């Protein structure tokens, strides 16, 4: 079939709206009409080839839409069902069998190689293959997705609203609720007030953290952080020593810290913000990091942890987040700004410049 997609042809190049060919679903796959797709920083770094997804490619990995057709063996979805799209996993390795798909042994191949599980791609243009991203490529009118990458949604779910749950929101919230699991009354510092950081702020408030310190560089984002559950905020542009600012703004170092920026010095600041015995989580794509292990880590019995996709089993976790939102306890809709699909390049630019927190592209 023919569908419309945003194609990146060269490193750092713009998304070009093009007509492409999409083959139908094979066994275990589902054809989805995309209603909305979140714009994530991971899309940007793939566009810039920090993650070297083979080009040309259709990016997008926070999709939501409606089932059009199911392949052989898919018996729990039918046309008309609403679904949220998330990351790809094999379902066969030891980690997947232990319900830890975020640690899938084939995670990088299935999400970043440009190919589906069988090594082929469902996308082509003028007879030449076009790479798929995260097993979905949701910057398009339609996508073919492995059943494991789909979360069935309750009837009546606002598909435009839930699209960004599939990566950014579940990453920030899951780092708190699934991995750190902070004790009631504990303290946490979160560096970065974008989608991932503010999702972590909401999750920390939901978990009952007594002190939630949000660190960011934009006054409007810090104000929103306070509205979403932060108890204290730190403008990183006003403090040379973030850990010292965290210590003094709320009465001491914290039990936990999260960095969402991927900036090495801010990862170190997250670690330094933790009390002895504390744990810091890295959520941003980070390059080389030099630390004094004795002074910054081992000597104070601290932990530095990498977390992928919020340690989430999407089929379990995303419905929980939707339920929390409906109860008014996880208002992630406040992060979203909507853009028409054909304004994808403006949405990407606004996201990169911090003019919007979570851009969501809509096709209808």
Are residues 250 and 201 both part of a single domain? Answer: yes
User: Which pTM does this prediction carry?
Assistant: 0.95
Please give the pLDDT value at position 317: 98
Are residues 152 and 31 both part of a single domain? Answer: yes
Please give the pLDDT value at position 202: 98
Give the model's confidence band at 287: pLDDT under 50 very low, under 70 low, under 90 confident, else very high: confident
The rounded Cα 53 to chain-centroid distance in angstroms is 17
Tokens at 166, concatenated:
């599939």
Q: Which residues contact 44 (CB under 8 A, 6 or more apart)?
A: 348, 351, 352
User: What's the mean pLDDT in 319-325?
Assistant: 97
Residue 89 zone, left/alpha/beta (φ > 0; ψ -120 to 50; rest): beta
Within a domain: 315: no
Give the model's confidence band at 149: pLDDT under 50 very low, under 70 low, under 90 confident, else very high: very high
Is pLDDT of 240 > 90? no
- Check if the beta carbon of residue 258 is closer than 8 Å to that of residue 176: yes
pLDDT one-digit tens code per residue, 331-358: 999 999 999 999 999 999 999 999 999 9
- pLDDT, averaged across the chain: 96
Are residues 180 and 299 both part of a single domain? Answer: yes
Are residues 45 and 29 both part of a single domain? Answer: yes
Are residues 338 and 237 both part of a single domain? Answer: no
Q: Which residues contact 154 (CB under 8 A, 6 or more apart)?
A: 82, 319, 322
Are residues 179 and 160 both part of a single domain? Answer: no
Distance CA 178, CA 321 (A): 12
Give the model's confidence band at 284: pLDDT under 50 very low, under 70 low, under 90 confident, else very high: confident
Crossing angle of helices 219-228 and 195-207, rounded to 10°:
30
Within a domain: 319: no
Within a domain: 210: yes
User: What's the mean pLDDT in 138-154?
Assistant: 97
Are residues 131 and 68 both part of a single domain? Answer: yes
Are residues 94 and 203 both part of a single domain? Answer: no
Are residues 88 and 29 both part of a single domain? Answer: yes
CATH number of the domain residue 338 falls in: 3.90.180.10
Quote the domain boundaries for residue 242.
172-308
Distance CA 28, CA 21 (A): 20
pLDDT one-digit tens code per residue, 202-221: 999 999 999 999 999 999 99
Please give the pLDDT value at position 82: 98
Are residues 242 and 182 both part of a single domain? Answer: yes
Give the model's confidence band at 198: pLDDT under 50 very low, under 70 low, under 90 confident, else very high: very high
Are residues 69 and 123 both part of a single domain? Answer: yes
Within a domain: 39: yes
Are residues 185 and 296 both part of a single domain? Answer: yes
Is pLDDT of 30 > 90? yes
CATH number of the domain residue 300 falls in: 3.40.50.720
The total of structural domains in the chain comes to 2
Give the model's confidence band at 285: pLDDT under 50 very low, under 70 low, under 90 confident, else very high: confident
User: What's the mean pLDDT in 114-126?
Assistant: 94
Single residue among 262, 277, 308 that ends a domain in this structure: 308
Within a domain: 324: no
Within a domain: 313: no
């Amino acid at each position: 079939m023919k569908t419309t997609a945003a194609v990146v042809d060269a490193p750092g190049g713009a998304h070009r709206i093009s007509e492409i060919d999409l083959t139908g679903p094979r066994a275990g796959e589902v054809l989805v009409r995309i209603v909305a797709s979140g714009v994530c920083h991971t899309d940007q770094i793939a566009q810039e080839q920090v993650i070297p997804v083979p080009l040309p490619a259709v990016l997008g990995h926070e999709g939501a839409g409606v089932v059009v057709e199911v392949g052989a063996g898919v018996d729990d979805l039918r046309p008309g069902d609403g679904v949220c799209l998330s990351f790809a996993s094999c379902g066969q390795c030891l980690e997947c069998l232990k319900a830890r798909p975020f640690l899938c042994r084939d995670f990088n191949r299935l999400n970043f190689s440009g190919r589906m599980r069988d090594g082929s791609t469902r996308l082509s243009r003028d007879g030449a293959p076009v790479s798929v991203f995260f097993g979905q490529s949701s910057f398009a009118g339609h996508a073919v997705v492995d059943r494991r990458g789909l979360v069935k949604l309750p009837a009546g779910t606002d598909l435009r609203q839930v699209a960004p749950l599939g990566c950014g929101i579940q990453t920030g919230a899951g780092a708190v609720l699934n991995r750190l699991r902070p004790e009631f009354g504990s303290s946490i510092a979160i560096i970065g007030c974008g989608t991932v950081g503010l999702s972590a702020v909401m999750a920390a408030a939901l978990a009952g953290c007594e002190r939630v310190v949000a660190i960011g560089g934009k006054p409007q984002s810090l104000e929103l952080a306070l509205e979403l559950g932060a108890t204290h905020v730190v403008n990183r542009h006003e403090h040379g020593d973030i850990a010292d600012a965290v210590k003094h703004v709320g009465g001491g170092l914290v039990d936990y810290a999260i960095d969402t920026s991927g900036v090495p010095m801010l990862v170190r600041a997250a670690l330094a913000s933790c009390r002895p015995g504390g744990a810091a989580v890295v959520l941003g794509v980070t390059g080389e990091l030099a630390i004094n292990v004795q002074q910054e880590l081992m000597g104070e019995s601290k932990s530095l942890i990498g977390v992928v996709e919020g340690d989430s089993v999407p089929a379990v976790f995303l419905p929980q987040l939707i339920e929390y939102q409906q109860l008014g306890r996880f208002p992630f809709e406040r992060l979203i700004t909507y853009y028409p699909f054909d304004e994808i390049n403006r949405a990407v630019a606004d996201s990169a410049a911090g003019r919007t927190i979570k851009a969501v592209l809509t096709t209808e």
